[in-house]
Amino acid sequence: MMRHELGEGRSYIVGDAIEVLQEYRDEAAAIFLDDAWARPNRYGHFGIDYDTHPFNEEQDAEGYVDTSITTCEIIDESHDALSEGGWLIADADDWLLPRLARYLQDEWGDVAESYEGGGYRKVGGVTITKADGTPDRSTAGMYLSTGGYPVVFAHKGDSDRQTSESARQIASNGLDDYGWGSVKPISPYKSWVKGLIDPGELILVPCAGTAPAALAAEQLFGDEAHYVCVDNDERAFEAFQRRRKEEVPDTHQKSL
């Protein structure tokens, strides 16, 4: 495991997401999880050459690269790493969405039905637009283009973290992929960080890639941003560094 320090309270770890989440029991105000690659045989599609893994242990591991962890394990560890009332904001895709929502309802509770306690709250999403503002319908897919991706929201226990920011956001994709296969826009995460997190509170970003949520926090809070990103691929950190250099003011670029 390699921990890259990016300033006081900010780091990017190249290592195992489960191990890192276990370091932060009951500490995180929010966890931003991009686990859209937990899909059978996704590895190798659309130029994706980094690790994929099954949703749970019952799935056939054929076609996966990394079968040492499952999405269910990451969700369980995320629950334990969140402080009471903390939020999980999890990117998904059309395959992962129903499985993720059902698992959260079963294991965390169905707050959308009861409006008490914690659990699955709602499904939002990000619509990707072209330069002229119209929906980008060129997203790769076998059957129907999506022009974006769903995002699932849940929280641990009772939560007084409430916001009028929309769970559904519209954003344009940047032109640079920073050498990484999946680069998502920052602006949706900026809205959710602003609405749900205070400066100095801990954000965890497992399966980080270029970590738009962490960069959103740094844009909003500057030196008061507190985040820990983790990815098991050194190339992800390198892409994150390239993106951070472009997206975050130089005054916050002081690595330790």
Q: In this structure, which amino acid lies at residue 112? A: A
**Mapped to the 3 state alphabet, what secondary structure does 218-237 carry?**
HHHHHHHCEEEEEECCHHHH
Contact 93, 36 (CB under 8 A): yes
Element holding 194 (H helix, E strand): helix 187-196
pTM, full prediction: 0.91
Please give the residue range of the domain that contains residue 183. 2-249
CATH number for the domain including 34?
3.40.50.150
Q: What is the pLDDT along the chain (256 residues), one digit of tens a residue?
A: 899 999 999 999 999 999 999 999 999 999 999 987 676 666 566 566 667 788 887 766 666 676 678 899 999 999 999 999 999 999 998 889 999 999 999 999 999 888 889 999 999 999 988 878 777 776 555 556 668 899 999 999 999 999 999 999 999 877 678 888 778 999 999 999 999 999 999 999 999 999 999 999 999 999 999 999 999 999 999 999 999 999 998 745 554 4
Element holding 113 (H helix, E strand): helix 111-114
- Asked whether residue 26 is domain-assigned, the answer is yes
* Burial (0-12, 13-18, 19+ Cβ within 10 Å), 240: buried
Number of structural domains (the chain) is 1
Torsion sign across C-alpha atoms 129, 130, 134, 136: negative
- Asked whether residue 206 is domain-assigned, the answer is yes
Return the residue matching tokens 């974006």: 148
- Asked whether residue 207 is domain-assigned, the answer is yes
- Asked whether residue 254 is domain-assigned, the answer is no
